[in-house]
């Protein structure tokens, strides 16, 4: 099928490819030999199969990366100890997309666009994490994590200081800076077992309706202040965050590189663990994110001015989850609902008022679920599998309307099914370094999202790599 | 075949092919089973253990290895009981591998890979000697003692408090460590000592306690003011001939075997086996031991204990044998 409106199609193709590229990049994840070195414990003490944490690791982290043995302050470490860990994953991967808009004549931008599948494969590199995490002093913990993508372009993934056990109470800990939200532990994107492009990350966390401008992702680190508390064994946990409405970006910009608004978001999380004899620790929790994003900004000479995001519109995410252990098998399930205001969902600047909205515009609402199964045979071998689904329960536009990307609205537009399966084998289990032989296949189908024909977009990935840190 | 399924088939085949190294190298093994039939995956050699098909010292040689010092209870016969929980050594082996092996070592002899960097050294389970017990000196601890140790950890050492793992996991671990020493097989288990109720904290009790401190010559190790700087302090070694410092009461740090008065009483009467701290059960009567506890609390100058308050209220001052305070 060919189209005559090349600009819109190119924009569609570019947008979709940008989205795909985001999925192509294996997510760096966190396992920290520096902490194992500090205390002389093997990685398996804190990690069920690294980077996934077990309850001892969760408690250790909740306590400000302290064991409470009166030797947590860095003054007790040898001067040569430095709390730094590097992690990277050289890999071979294959990415296949079934529908990409390509020029009929390669290299000729004036030739018509057609849809065809593409496959790319080869040896590659992941991003790099430089994890410096530990204690500045007793009951003052920190993290500084510069991260690079696979090209070596750096950003700060995490930078925070946390005052732990305020007034001697484990129910009062305050974190300040850029940090991961307190998400369900088996479903943390920073400690996920999967690394591939198509569905290695959690599609549900980053889902935004097609044609909208809300760039929030639950898996993205945010900047703000967090108050957390936990019981002694971390069976009961809570977190309250107040965050800038910038999706964790600096310089008063959001994830789209546009000016962020001077508003603040709120995140709440509560979970409760229940130990069932012979089965293991079961955990249940709820979470809620209430945020606002700008729909336009002030400009100077047509250039957006950072930090002057205007016309904020609300969005929210709510979820409930369970992490169930049946011996070596862990099932983690999350039900998640999202709601984006109609101005966000239709990319309409709010200063245009209701008249600026497309006809029939409404809030975009969706429901989704993550179902993840991990089988940890022992700390050195884990099999994982995940199925995600996202279903739009209300599209931003009526059926047949065309959004800003030139895509026709259908009831299923954007519905996603994600699937990932793989295993990790750790030849060494050590307190100085980690190594995992990682194999994974994943697939994601996005309904009616192909750039030209409006058919289903299907991405598939095969990822084989040596994931190491030291 | 649809291209999609062709691709899926190709992807699956590739995953299987690249997983071949794991098959060739073998799946991970487990720590020893305390005398049972040897694993097909390892064999002892003169210079150490050759691990066939594995790459890590976490894969432990079987009990025929020359380094094996003695067999305790076979894994299938080793159990433990704490309260209503019954421990299973087979499950305990998995937990040991996850949590303990890095310090205590695959043979349980305290020679884990991290032991060289740790001070004090990890416990050698093959000796069957344990510091924190409720049983008389020279005896094995009760399962409850070991559970309490796991729960408490050892402050100022690399042994963390394992309260965050489940009670069942702890009890399973206790069952497993019994495979390391023959004492668990050959020794009748002793009952805990009787601990009478604590006597009142009075000025007289504290004074008597000071007298006992002098009479038992505690100052030789712990110093006259409890700084741990007694004349013998620098010469002390533990059962592994490693230097060891006496407890410094003035730091206010938690005691390794529990910090209640009852715990300190028990330390006197059972001794801390493996360390130079002997049992005073034959030298001290129970009341005298309580008096000593009350006096020692007054040495913890940074802790506002009832004993310190009694001492201050009664203007108690103590001198050593030389007449110095």
The structural domains of chain A, with segments of one domain joined by +, span 6-469
pLDDT for B128 beyond 80: yes
Say whether residue B120 is in contact with chain A using an 8 A CB cutoff.
Answer: no
Q: Categorize the per-residue pLDDT at B18 as very low, low, confident or very high, splitting at 50, 70 and 90.
A: low
Inspect the interface and report whether the beta carbons of B15 and A42 lie closer than 8 Å: no
Neighbours of A322 (CB within 10 A): 16
Say whether residue A430 is in contact with chain B using an 8 A CB cutoff.
Answer: yes
Write down the architecture of domain A6-469 according to CATH.
Answer: Beta Barrel (2.40)
- Encode pLDDT of A238-264 as tens digits: 999 999 999 999 999 988 889 999 999
Q: Determine the pLDDT at residue B13.
A: 62
Q: Categorize the per-residue pLDDT at B178 as very low, low, confident or very high, splitting at 50, 70 and 90.
A: very high
Q: Determine the pLDDT at residue B117.
A: 87
| Cβ contacts from A onto B, under 8 A | 124
Say whether residue B155 is in contact with chain A using an 8 A CB cutoff.
Answer: yes
Are A52 and A186 a contacting pair, CB within 8 Å? yes
Inspect the interface and report whether the beta carbons of A67 and B153 lie closer than 8 Å: yes
Least confident of A33-37, B88-92, B211-215, B247-251: A33-37
- Encode pLDDT of B273-318 as tens digits: 999 999 999 999 999 999 999 999 999 998 899 999 999 999 998 8
| b/e map B157-190, b = 16+ CB within 10 Å | bbbbbbbbbbbbbbbbbbbbbbbbbebbbeeeeb
pTM above 0.95, yes or no: no
Asked, colleague to colleague, whether B79-186 and B203-313 share their fold, the answer is yes
pLDDT for A5 beyond 50: no
Q: What is the mean pLDDT of chain A?
A: 91
| b/e map A282-320, b = 16+ CB within 10 Å | bbebebebebbbbbbbeeeeeebebbbbebbbbbbbebe
Give A45's contacts in chain B (Cβ within 8 Å).
Answer: 98-99, 102
Query: What ipTM did this prediction achieve?
Result: 0.85
CATH number for the domain formed by residue range(s) B203-313: 1.10.760
Write down the architecture of domain B79-186 according to CATH.
Answer: Orthogonal Bundle (1.10)
pLDDT for B12 beyond 90: no
Give A119's contacts in chain B (Cβ within 8 Å).
Answer: 7
Say whether residue B5 is in contact with chain A using an 8 A CB cutoff.
Answer: no
Helix (H, G, I), strand (E, B) or coil at B97: helix
Q: Considering only alpha carbons, which residue of chain B is nearest residue A276?
A: B166
Q: Determine the pLDDT at residue B106.
A: 86
Q: Categorize the per-residue pLDDT at B118 as very low, low, confident or very high, splitting at 50, 70 and 90.
A: confident
Say whether residue A378 is in contact with chain B using an 8 A CB cutoff.
Answer: yes
Say whether residue A121 is in contact with chain B using an 8 A CB cutoff.
Answer: no
Among B20, B29, B95, B164, most A C-beta atoms within 10 A, so best to mutate, is B164
CA distance B266 to A237: 36
Domain ranges of chain B: 79-186, 203-313
Inspect the interface and report whether the beta carbons of B161 and A462 lie closer than 8 Å: no
Whole-number percent of chain B with pLDDT over 90: 59
Distant-in-sequence, close-in-space partners of B96: CB < 8 Å, separation ≥ 6:
B31, B104, B173, B176, B177
- Encode pLDDT of A109-155 as tens digits: 999 999 999 999 999 999 999 999 999 999 999 999 999 999 999 99
Q: Determine the pLDDT at residue A29.
A: 54
Q: Determine the pLDDT at residue A17.
A: 41
């Amino acid at each position: 099928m060919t189209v005559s409106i090349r600009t819109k199609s190119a924009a569609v193709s570019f947008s979709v490819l940008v989205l795909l590229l985001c999925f192509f990049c294996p997510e760096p994840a966190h396992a920290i030999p520096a902490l194992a070195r500090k205390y002389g414990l093997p990685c398996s003490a804190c990690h069920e199969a690294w980077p996934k944490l077990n309850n001892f690791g969760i408690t250790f982290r909740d306590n400000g990366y302290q064991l409470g043995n009166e030797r947590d302050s860095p003054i007790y470490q040898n001067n040569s100890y430095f709390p730094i860990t590097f992690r990277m994953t050289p890999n071979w991967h294959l990415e296949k997309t079934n529908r990409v808009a390509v020029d009929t004549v390669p290299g000729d931008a004036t030739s018509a666009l057609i849809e065809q599948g593409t496959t790319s494969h080869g040896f590659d590199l992941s991003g790099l994490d430089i994890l410096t995490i530990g204690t500045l002093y007793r009951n003052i913990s920190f993290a500084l994590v510069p991260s690079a993508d696979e090209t070596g372009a750096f950003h700060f993934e995490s930078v925070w200081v946390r005052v732990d056990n305020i007034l001697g109470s484990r129910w009062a800990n305050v974190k300040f800076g850029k940090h991961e939200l307190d998400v369900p532990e088996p479903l943390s994107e920073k400690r996920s077992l999967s690394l591939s492009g198509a569905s290695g990350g959690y599609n549900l966390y980053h889902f935004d309706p097609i044609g909208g401008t809300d760039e929030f992702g639950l898996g993205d680190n945010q900047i703000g202040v967090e108050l957390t508390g936990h019981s002694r064994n971390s069976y009961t946990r809570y977190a309250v965050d107040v965050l800038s409405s910038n999706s964790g970006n600096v310089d008063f910009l959001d994830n789209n590189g546009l000016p962020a608004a001077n508003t603040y978001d709120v995140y709440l999380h509560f979970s409760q663990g229940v130990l069932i004899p012979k089965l293991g620790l079961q955990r249940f929790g709820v979470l809620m994110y209430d945020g606002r994003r700008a729909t336009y900004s002030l400009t100077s000479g047509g250039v957006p001015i950072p930090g002057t995001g205007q016309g904020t519109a609300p969005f929210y995410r709510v979820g409930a989850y369970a992490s169930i252990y049946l011996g070596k098998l862990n099932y983690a399930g999350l039900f998640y609902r999202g709601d984006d205001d109609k101005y966000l969902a239709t990319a309409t600047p709010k200063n245009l008022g209701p008249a600026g909205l497309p006809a029939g515009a409404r809030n975009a609402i969706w429901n989704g679920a993550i179902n993840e199964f991990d089988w940890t045979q022992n700390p050195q071998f884990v099999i994982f599998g995940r199925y995600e689904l996202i279903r739009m329960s209300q599209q931003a536009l009526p059926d047949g309307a065309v959004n800003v990307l030139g895509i026709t609205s259908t009831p299923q537009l954007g519905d996603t099914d994600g699937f990932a399966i793989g295993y990790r084998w750790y030849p060494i289990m050590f307190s100085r370094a980690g190594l995992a032989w990682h194999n994974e296949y994943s697939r994601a189908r996005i309904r009616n999202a192909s750039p030209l024909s409006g058919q289903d977009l299907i991405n598939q990935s095969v990822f084989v790599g040596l994931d190491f840190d030291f | 075949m649809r291209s999609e399924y062709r691709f899926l088939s190709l992807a699956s085949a590739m995953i299987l092919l690249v997983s071949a190294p794991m098959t060739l190298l073998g799946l991970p093994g487990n720590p020893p089973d305390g005398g049972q039939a040897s694993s097909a995956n390892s064999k002892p050699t003169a210079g150490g253990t050759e691990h066939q098909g594995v790459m890590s010292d976490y894969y432990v040689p079987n009990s025929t290895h020359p380094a094996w010092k003695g067999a305790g209870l076979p894994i299938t016969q080793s159990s433990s009981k704490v309260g209503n929980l019954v421990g299973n050594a087979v499950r305990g082996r998995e937990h040991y591998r996850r949590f303990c092996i890095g310090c205590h070592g695959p043979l349980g002899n305290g020679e884990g890979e991290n032991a060289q960097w740790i001070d004090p050294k990890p416990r050698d389970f093959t000796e069957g000697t344990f510091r924190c017990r409720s049983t008389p000196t020279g005896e094995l601890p009760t399962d409850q003692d070991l559970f309490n140790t796991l729960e408490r950890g050892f402050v100022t050492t690399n042994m963390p408090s394992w309260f965050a793992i489940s009670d069942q996991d702890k009890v399973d671990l206790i069952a497993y460590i019994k495979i390391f020493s023959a004492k668990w097989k050959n020794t009748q288990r002793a009952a805990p000592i009787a601990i009478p109720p604590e006597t009142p904290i009075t000025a007289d009790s504290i004074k008597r306690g000071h007298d006992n401190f002098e009479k038992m010559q505690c100052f030789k190790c712990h110093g006259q003011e409890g700084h741990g700087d007694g004349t013998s302090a620098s010469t002390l070694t533990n059962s592994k001939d490693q230097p060891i410092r006496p407890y410094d009461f003035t730091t206010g740090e938690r005691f390794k075997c529990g910090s209640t008065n009852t715990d300190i009483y028990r330390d006197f009467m059972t001794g801390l086996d493996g360390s130079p701290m002997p049992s005073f059960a034959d030298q001290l009567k129970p009341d005298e031991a309580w008096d000593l506890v009350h006096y020692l609390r007054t040495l913890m100058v940074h802790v506002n204990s009832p004993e310190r308050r009694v001492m201050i209220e009664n203007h108690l001052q103590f001198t050593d044998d030389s007449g110095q305070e």
